[in-house]
Amino acid sequence: MTRVDGYGRIDRTRTLSFTFDGIVRTAHPGDTLASALLAQGVTTLGTSVRLGRPRGVLGSWTEDPCGLVQIEEPFPEPMLLATTVDVVDGLVARGVPGRGRLAEVADTARYDHRHLHCDVLVVGAGPAGLVAAREAARAGQDVVLVDDRPTPGGTLTGTEMIDGRPALEFVDAVAAELAAAPHVTHLQATTAFGHYDDGFVLALERCGEGSDPRQRVHRIRAGRVVVAAGAFERPIVFEDADRPGVMLASAARDLLHRHGVLAGRVVVVFTVDDSAYAAALDLHRAGAAVRVVDARAEAPAGWARRCADAGIVVEPGTDVRGTLGDDRVRAALVGEARREVPCDLLLVSGGWNPTAHLFSHVGGRLAFDDELVGFRPAGDLPGTAVVGAAHGTYALADVLREGAAATGSATDAPHAEPEEITPRGTLWRTPGDPARQFVDIARDATVADIARAVGAGMTSVEHVKRYTTIGTAHDQGKTSGILASGITAELLGRPVGALGTTTFRPPYTPVPFAALAGRDRGDLYDPVRTTPVHDRHVALGAEFEDVGQWKRARHYPRPGEDMAAAVLRECAAVRGAVGMMDGSTLGKIDVRGPDAGVLLDHLYTNLMSTLKVGRVRYGVMCGNDGMVFDDGTVLRLAEDRFLVTTTTGNAAHVLDWMEEWVQTEWPDLRVRLTSVTEQWSILAVAGPRSRDVIGRVFADVDVSNEAFGFMTWQDTELDGVPVRLARISFSGELAVEVTVASWYAADLWDRLLAAGEPWGITPYGTETMHVLRAEKGYPIIGQDTDGTVTPHDLGMAWAVSKKKTDFVGKRSFARPLNADPQRKHLVSLLPTDAATMLPEGSQIVDLPDDGLLPPPPVAMLGHVTSSYRSAELGRPFALALVRGGRDRVGEVVAVPVGDQLVAVEIGDTVLVDPEGARRDG
Amino acid sequence: MQLITCPWCGPREETEFRYGGQADLAYPADPSALDDEQWARFVFFRDNPEGAFAERWCHDAGCRRWLRAVRDTRTYVFAETRPYGRTA
C-alpha cells in the first residue's frame, strides 16, 4: 500500500469495492480509479495502441495521455481515463490495449440539457476563478462558476497560505460565500468544453453514477466569460519516457494531496522548472527518498537550500536520457554517461502550458512567451478574460490579483506571499535515440516520426500533427502538442514562436454523444405527426411510411398479403368500385385579403385570379429559375379568399416561400397567409362508385355531374358539422375529397366506410395513390422532379399561362436552354417483356444492336423516377425523365437491371384512360 | 452560436433564424425587358464582399418575420438588424 496517513481529501471511514482486470479491490470515496490503483501498487493499466508497450498514468487528470480503461459496469464505456473516473461501489473496469469497445446494450440512463443565462461565467474554481466569482457575486451580478474537478481549489494542495490561513480553508470559505449568495450557480464536476460566439459556452456536468440525469449539458449564455482554467505541466522527451512510473511532478503532488497516495518510494525528479521542487519536498515529507536532476546550469537558490535542509540531493546541469525497467521504471539514466540512478518513480517537469483552449475556441490568438517557455493568450477578445495560470500567471499572489481584477478590483485580492522566480529552462527533449523518444504516448508517436514529417518537407505543425497523429488522441495533445511544436521547431531550426501551435477546437475533453443528444432520442428524436384518423389506420393493420414527420398509411395488407399484393388489390378496388384514402397530411394554406388573387397570380404559372368562387384549379409553382418546386390545387372560397394545397412534405416550405415574397418583395399586397394543414382533414373517396357513397352519406346533396361538376366544390353539413365536398381526382377516377374540421375526421371516416360497404369500399394507402396517379401520368414533385425540371419538361405547358405578363419563373422559360429539344421530358416506360419491374433510379441508355451494355463510358439518356406494378395494365410500368423523350415515343431504349439490359418502350405519360372519360363516372 | 437581434423579438439564438442571402435585390419591374445575361445575374449572381454585407434573415422559429441585417463577413458581427423594407 502506498496510501499515506495525514494526506488527501478522501473519506477513509468508508470503503468502496471495485474490480479491475478481474481482481476485486477497495477504494475510498474521493478516489479516482487511477488513485485507487496506484494506492495498491498497480502502475501498469494497459498497453499502447500500436506497439503494445505498457502504459500507466502520466498525469492525474484530463491531461493524462495514457491511462485508458474500459468501463464494464455500471455501463460499458470505452477509453475513459482512469484519472477521471470516480470509483463507485461495483465499478468494473479493465485496462485496454489502446482502444476500447462500444456498449452493445442500450444506455438506460437519462441525459439532459439545461439553459443558463448569466452576467459572468467563470470557468475554473482554482484560486483565480474563485476570487473572480466572489468579486462578481459581491458586485451583485448573476454568476455561474463551473469547474471540472469534483471539488473546488484547482491545483491548490493545501500547503499554500492565502489571507494568512491554509489555502483550502480559504477555498471552503469562498465556496460557502458563493453558496449563500443569491444569483450564483456553482457547479463542480462540470467541464466547459466549448466556447462559441457571443458568450455561448457548453459545459458537461457529470451528475454521478446512478443520478438522474446521469450527465447534463449546460448551454450557458454569458455576458462575460472569465477563463481561469489553469495550466497543465508538460513532460520532457527522453528515451523510454513512456514507461509506467514516469509521471508529471504535478501529478504526483496532486495524488498525494488529493488522494493521500504516494506514487513512489524512491523518486527522481527531472526538471527545468521551479515548480517541481515543491513536488520533491512534498514527496520527501511524505516519506519518499527524493533526488532532483535539474537541467538548468544552476539550481534555484531558495529551492536548493530547502532541499539541502531536507537532505534532498540536487544535481544541476545534467539531464535524464532514458529509463530502465521491465514494466515499471527501475532506474533513470542520468547524464551523457547514462548513469543508473535507481528509482520507482521518475517525475518530470518541462514547464507549463496555459490551458487557453476556451480562449482559442473563439478566435483568441496564442503567442510564445520566451520567459514563460509556453504559448499564452495574446491580445484581448471582447467579452472574454483569461486569468491566472491559463494566462501564464503562475505565482499565487499574482493569480489572486488577476482573478479579482477580472470582475472587480485587484486591490480586493486576497493576500499571498510573493514567490522566488528563477528563469525557466527550455528543454523539449534530451539527446538519445529518436525512435525511442515518445512524444505522444497515446499514439506511440516518436521524435523519429516528427523527423520523418519534417524530412518529407512539412513545415507546419498542422501538417506534422496529421502526418504523425500527434495530438489526435482522446487528450488532443494536452501534454504532447507543444512538445511536438518545440521539437519540430528544433528540427527546422526555427523559433517555436514562429511555428505556433495546432488549433484548439471543441470539445476540450471528450463528450459522450448521449449527453449531446440529451432527451432528443428514441421517441423524442423527432416529432411524429399523425392524422386524426391514425388510430383507424392502425386498427386496419396499415403499414406506415414516413413522409417528412408524418406517418402515412402506405397500404393495408390483409392476412397473407405482401405490399405488392395489397397494392394491386387496393388499386383494383379504386378502379373497379370505390376506395378511400386519408389525405389529411396535404399542406393547406389559407390565403386571404383583397390582393390574394394578385399574389397567387405572381406565384403560380397559371392564372388564379380568374378562378370563380366555388371552383378548383390545379397549379404549379416555380422558382425564379423556372424549375418546378411544388404543385397542388387551389380552391377559391370567396372573392378575397383561397385555399391552397401543397404536397405533404413541402407544406412548410411553400408557406415560407409565399411569406418571403409577401414580406420582402410585395409588402404592399393586402394579403395574409395562414397554415391550416392540421385544422382541416381531407378524406378522398375515389372510384366509379364514389358518387354512390357520397350520395348516401350526404343525402341532401345533388351529386350528379350536372349539379356537382369536376373541379368544383360545395359546402354542406353532416349532423350540424360543416363539411366541404370537392370534385378533385388524383387517380383519374370519379372522386370526391371530403374536408372536415380535424376533430370530426375519425367519425367521418367511420361513416364513409360504413356507407361504402355495399360497394366494398376499400381503404387505400399512399403506395396505391402513387400507382394510380402514375398510371395517369401525374408527377410527384420531388420524386419525378429534382429541381432541374420545368413545367414544359413535365408536359404541362398547358398549366403555364401565356396571358400573364409575368409570374415567378416566366422569364427563365425564355432562356435558350429551356427550348433545347434535348431536355429531359417526363415519359412512361413499358418494359417490352411486360414483366420486369424497373428499379427506381435506374439509368436509361440506348439499346445496342447486340443487346449488350457496351463498356463505359455509356451515354445516359435519363433515369427512372417512378416504377410500379399496375393492376389495370396487368404489367409493370415506370415514369422516367428521358432526353428528348416526348419526341421518342414509341422507340425502344434500354435500362440496365443488374447485369441485364431490359428493353423498354417510351410512351406517353398517360397509360390509363387517356381520354379522361372516367373522372365524371 | 451567435445572438441575432430580431427587430421584433430582441436577441435570439442563431438557430432560430434562416439565412436568406443578399438583401436589396429587388425583383425586376419588367423581367421580360432584361436580356438573358441580366436575368441570369438577377437569379444566380450574388455579391461576396469582404466586410459589411447587407443580408436577409428570417426569424423562422420565432415571429417568422424577415429582417434586413448588415453583417461583417470577416468577423460575422452584426452591425445592425431592422425590419425588412424599412430604411430606419
Digit-coded pLDDT (tens) for A259-279: 999 999 999 999 999 999 999
How does DSSP classify residue A434? G
The 10s digit of each residue's pLDDT in A555-600 is: 999 999 999 999 999 999 999 999 999 999 999 999 999 999 999 9
Average pLDDT of the residues in A166-188: 97
Residues of chain B that touch chain A, judged by Cβ-Cβ distance less than 8 Å: 1-3, 14, 18, 20, 26-28, 30-32, 34, 36, 39-40, 42-44, 56, 58, 60, 64-66, 76, 84-85
The 10s digit of each residue's pLDDT in A715-729 is: 999 999 999 999 999
How does DSSP classify residue A798? G
Domain membership flag for residue B54: yes
- Walk me through the domains of chain A, giving residue ranges and CATH numbers: 2-105+235-349 (3.50.50.60), 111-232+354-405 (3.50.50.60), 427-499 (1.10.10.1100), 534-585+679-772 (3.30.1360.120), 587-675 (3.30.70.1400), 820-921 (2.40.30.110)
Cross-strand pairs, B4: B12
Q: How far is A807 from chain B (nearest CA, A)?
A: 9
Between A168 and A210, where is the model more confident? Answer: A168
Domain membership flag for residue B23: yes
Domain membership flag for residue B38: yes
Domain membership flag for residue B62: yes
The 10s digit of each residue's pLDDT in A819-845 is: 899 999 999 999 999 999 999 999 999
Average pLDDT of the residues in A630-640: 97
Residues 6+ apart with CB under 8 A from A755: A693, A696, A697, A761
Cα distance between residue A565 and residue A545, in whole Å: 17
Pick the residue from chain B with its C-alpha nearest to A222.
Answer: B3
Cross-strand pairs, A146: A123, A187
Average pLDDT of the residues in A639-662: 96
Average pLDDT of the residues in A3-12: 94
Between A846 and A100, where is the model more confident? Answer: A846
The 10s digit of each residue's pLDDT in A186-211 is: 999 999 999 999 999 999 999 998 89
| pLDDT confidence band for A921 (50 / 70 / 90) | confident
Buried b (16+ CB within 10 A) or exposed e, A77-90: bebbbbbbbbbbee
Average pLDDT, chain A: 96
pLDDT given at position A379: 87
pLDDT given at position A733: 97
Share of chain A above pLDDT 70, in %: 100
Count how many domains chain B has: 1
Nearest to B31 among A197, A221, A810 (CB): A810
Domain membership flag for residue B52: yes
pLDDT given at position A419: 86
Q: Where are the alpha helices (DSSP H) in A763-837?
A: 766-775, 810-813
pLDDT given at position A92: 97
| pLDDT confidence band for A420 (50 / 70 / 90) | confident
**CB-CB neighbours of A558 under 10 Å:** 10
pLDDT given at position A2: 87
pLDDT given at position B86: 65
Nearest to B84 among A197, A663, A810 (CB): A663
- Name chain A contacts of B14, Cβ cutoff 8 Å: 197
CB contact under 8 A, A200 and B1: yes
Domain membership flag for residue B88: no
Domain membership flag for residue B64: yes
pLDDT given at position A210: 87
The 10s digit of each residue's pLDDT in A108-131 is: 899 999 999 999 999 999 999 999
Q: Are strands A384-386 and A215-227 parallel, antiparallel or unpaired?
A: parallel
Average pLDDT of the residues in A21-31: 97
Query: Is A788 within 8 Å of chain B by CB?
Result: no
pTM for this entry: 0.91
C-alpha distance from residue A24 to each of A20, A30, A33, A79 (Å): 7, 18, 13, 20
Pick the residue from chain A with its C-alpha nearest to B35.
Answer: A815
Nearest to B65 among A625, A663, A815 (CB): A663
Rounded to the nearest 10 degrees, the angle between the axes of helix A745-755 and helix A690-697 is 120
Which residues of A, range 248-267, sit inside 8 Å of B by Cβ? none
Instruction: Find, among A475, A368, A505, the residue nearest to A377 by Cα.
Output: A368
CB contact under 8 A, B31 and A659: no
Residue B46 belongs to what domain range? 3-83
Q: Best residue in B3, B18, B63, B72 to probe A by mutation, most A CBs within 10 Å? A: B3
Low-confidence ranges of chain B (pLDDT < 70): 86-88
Which residues of A, range 653-692, sit inside 8 Å of B by Cβ? 656, 659-660, 663-665, 667
Query: Is A820 within 8 Å of chain B by CB?
Result: no
Average pLDDT of the residues in A357-374: 95
Compute φ and ψ for A211, nearest 5 degrees: -80, 160
pLDDT given at position B87: 57
In chain A the first and final C-alpha atoms are separated, in Å, by 93
Q: Best residue in B24, B82, B84 to probe A by mutation, most A CBs within 10 Å? A: B84
| Kind and range of the H or E run holding A136 | helix A127-138
Pick the residue from chain B with its C-alpha nearest to A602.
Answer: B27
Which CATH number belongs to the domain containing residue B46 in this structure? Answer: 3.30.2270.10
Q: Where are the alpha helices (DSSP H) in A469-562?
A: 481-492, 496-499, 513-517, 534-539
pLDDT given at position A209: 85
Domain membership flag for residue B8: yes
Cα distance between residue A148 and residue A189, in whole Å: 4
| pLDDT confidence band for A499 (50 / 70 / 90) | very high
Q: What is the side-by-side order of every strand in the sheet holding A875-883? A: A843-844, A862-870, A875-883, A824-831, A900-907, A892-897
Average pLDDT of the residues in A520-547: 96
Pick the residue from chain A with its C-alpha nearest to B67.
Answer: A664
pLDDT given at position A401: 98
CB contact under 8 A, A624 and B42: yes
